[in-house]
Amino acid sequence: MQYKSLKEYGAIGDGNTVALVGRDGSIDWCPLPHVESPSVFAALLDADRGGRFTVQPTGTYESAQRYRDRTNILETTFQTGSGAATVTDFMPVAEVAESGDQPPAVYRKVDCEDGPLEFDVEFEPRFDYARDIPEIEPTPDGVVAAGSDEQAILSSDLPLTPSADGHGVNATATLEGGETRWLVLGYDEAIPLKPSQHQETLAAVTDYWRKWAHDCDGTECPVDDRWHDLAVRSSLVLKLLIHRETGAVCAAPTTSLPEDLGGVRNWDYRYNWIRDAAFTVRALSELGHLEEARSYFELCLDHCRHHDPAALPPVYGLHGGGDLEEQVLDHLEGYCGSAPVRIGNSAREQHQLDVYGELVLAIYESVRYGEPVTADDWTVMCDLIDYVCDGWDEPDASIWETRDDPRQYVYSKVMCWAALDRGIKLANAADAVPAPSERWKTCREDIREAILERGWSESANSFVRSFGDDDALDAANLLVPVVGLLPPNDDRVQGTIDATIDRLATDDGLVYRYHGDDGLPGKASPFTVCSFWLVTALALSGRIDEAIGRFESVLKRTNPLGLLAEAVDPETGEQRGNFPQAYSHVGLLNSALYLSDADGSSDASPAPLGTDGAAGIDSSTEIVRQPNDNE
């Protein structure tokens, strides 16, 4: 069987998990009950063995997908020679579930607008990444698929009978114009078939998403009209990827989608990376999603509370667990034959110095938006920043999690500088709390001098990937002006931007991550978030026309639903890597915010992230919350 392009998928979810639904009406990926759980459908990773749940017209058809306006409810429309129909896919979020203890569920509503139209239903669940093939048995309202220790129950008012081999359902039914049918999949528990109640649930879910989605409502909006709808869609994607119980942001809901077809750069991204923190907090806060930003802020503090700073992992399970042992699933062929298929992620064991800056930046940003820390948390933060003073000059694996020997990566040092800089700013604003400010200031200057002396290459006229490199570039250094190490108009910032455009960027606006070996064979595709970093650096520099041109070029890479993967194939333009990718959508949102801050003149200069030019941190800001008598 063939594999679909990522442009043919939409995503639905409930705050616990995410499913990918193809334009052909097939659910090809769905882990249950959580996004980091084993898959129930995984045709995305093995078209023959992975399992799927398909609802589509019999024979030839044309199809298209759209989201119901300002929601994560997906509508797939089908047109045939005899009729037309729409399949509406959604998951009820806990706030509007039909019962408080409802199990995870996927609802599929089939509306036949013009008939007669014959539909095929294919239901082939394959538990535990297709290692457990269930037995299918009929029930009064459908079928139950029973595995060794889990089950999926499909209820429907369409006629469903098990296939001859007992491992699936292959059914056909004809709908007349005006008819509606339901298929409701419950995990471990059945969802009773009640069409009128399901319709009420759909209305409630629609209302939930529309109330959550950013809406300017006639007020001043932080995002320009040109990019407003894509920004709203990106925020809705982020909401799908935010775990409802913990506030953790899932980097992507998939595993092992390759950066390069046939290559081995296939990773499991169903976890929370600290590197996403500061930019996610800013994007959510600017769009008014303060509850989600607050939850992520608390999660960042929790990381600080429960780990020795010297052993801070860069990635966590969405429930906070640390067992991310990397395994290879040899029985799955991989997307388009791109093996290996991996679960778990050994980046958990890496030492990455950039995470300290990203954590402190996230906390600083949260304080800017009105979330003070407690006195106890301030003490923990001081310990973290003190560790940066002791360990900033160690080699590490970098933001890109290279799998060769550790190096003195320049971006890692930049983020160590940022940790100290924001710690000093918080301490200065909260003069009632103790902090070794003089030590921090001395170390901050030492790091800055090291970056400027050892991380800058005169021959490349750019910051380079690691100390001692002459010409190997790293797109992460585009963030130097964003975090405020140097002002955007500094010649070294401009040189780095120009060198990146000349040597890491493609003609149509895409940007590769870096030059040089990383311990892995094969090649990587241009990384989507790096393309947005270039846009942001240009916007901060006042090079607005260039920034807009590159931004709009990258936006053309979104799929028809406005979704972005991790990377883009430079030759075909196809999206590559895990999908949809939180980091890509966070990059889109922040680029849109920075561009919208600019006035369009040649000397426009929006404020870098959390610097003194940005509103928020001053003597009136509550930095450290004092406990009241009830605490």
Q: What does the pLDDT read at residue 507?
A: 86
Mean pLDDT (the chain) is 91
Report how far residue 182's alpha carbon sits from residue 188's, in angstroms, rounded to the nearest whole number: 19
Report how far residue 169's alpha carbon sits from residue 167's, in angstroms, rounded to the nearest whole number: 7
Report how far residue 547's alpha carbon sits from residue 539's, in angstroms, rounded to the nearest whole number: 6
Q: What does the pLDDT read at residue 110?
A: 98
Give the DSSP H/E element, type plus range, for residue 492: helix 491-503
Tokens 């797939």: give the residue: 76
Residue from 598, 513, 511, 596 nearest 557 by CA: 511
Report how far residue 465's alpha carbon sits from residue 453's, in angstroms, rounded to the nearest whole number: 13
Q: Which DSSP symbol is given to 466?
A: B
pTM (predicted TM-score): 0.94
Q: What does the pLDDT read at residue 521?
A: 80
Q: Which DSSP symbol is given to 64?
A: E
Q: What does the pLDDT read at residue 115?
A: 87
Q: What does the pLDDT read at residue 477?
A: 98
* 337 token code pair: 């034959």
72-131 pLDDT tens trace: 999 999 999 999 999 999 999 987 765 556 678 999 999 999 989 999 999 999 999 999
Q: What does the pLDDT read at residue 210?
A: 96
Q: What does the pLDDT read at residue 183?
A: 97
The backbone torsions φ and ψ at residue 156, rounded to the nearest 5 degrees and listed phi first, read -160, 155
Residues 595 and 227 sit within 8 Å (Cβ to Cβ): yes
Q: How far apart are the first and last CA of the chain?
A: 61
Burial of 1 (0-12, 13-18, 19+ CB in 10 A): exposed
The backbone torsions φ and ψ at residue 582, rounded to the nearest 5 degrees and listed phi first, read -60, -45
Burial of 349 (0-12, 13-18, 19+ CB in 10 A): middle
Residue from 104, 87, 90, 78 nearest 11 by CA: 90
* 402 token code pair: 């290279």
Q: What does the pLDDT read at residue 611?
A: 53
* 13 token code pair: 């979810």
Residue from 425, 374, 428, 382 nearest 625 by CA: 374
* 24 token code pair: 């052909």
Q: What does the pLDDT read at residue 431?
A: 67
**Ranges of residues in the chain whose predicted pLDDT is under 70:** 97-102, 217-219, 322, 431-432, 599-621, 625-631
CA atoms within 13 Å, Cβ hemisphere of 543: 17
Which residue ranges form the domains of the chain, and what is each CATH number?
A: 6-210 (2.70.98.50), 225-614 (1.50.10.10)
Q: What does the pLDDT read at residue 617?
A: 63
Q: What does the pLDDT read at residue 603?
A: 34
123-163 pLDDT tens trace: 999 999 999 999 999 999 999 999 999 999 999 999 999 99
